[in-house]
Amino acid sequence: MKLQVLKDNSGNQTGIFLPIENWKLIKDNYPDIELIDQELSQQERDLIDSRLDAIAKAPKRLRPISELLEELNKIV
């Protein structure tokens, strides 16, 4: 993938340019990519907030995903 980094007059990165072939490949692999900057619905925000509250109340319940994968591999 041949990306070009765009910079302003101060040298700060402001964006990227990528060839259309690469964009098409990304869209093929991630068909919803254009929705990424859509506003979350109130229901989605409420769900995220409730999960963050649960984490704040019981942070020790969090475990690395690697532990889950190890447990699942034992079952299979």
- Judged by phi (left if over 0) then psi (alpha if -120 to 50, else beta), residue 11 lies in left
Give pTM, 2 decimals.
Answer: 0.44
Band (3; pLDDT cuts 50, 70, 90) = confident
**Residue partners of 10: CB distance under 8 A and separation at least 6:** none
Domain boundaries along the sequence of the chain: 4-75
Please give the residue that has the higher pLDDT: either 2 or 13.
13
- Going by the DSSP 8-state scheme, the letter that residue 6 receives in this structure is E
16-75 confidence digits (pLDDT tens): 999 999 999 999 999 988 888 888 899 999 999 999 999 999 998 888 999 999 999 998
Cβ-Cβ contacts under 8 Å for 48 (sequence gap 6 or more) = 40
**pLDDT value, residue 76:** 74
Quote the tokens at residue 31: 């068909």
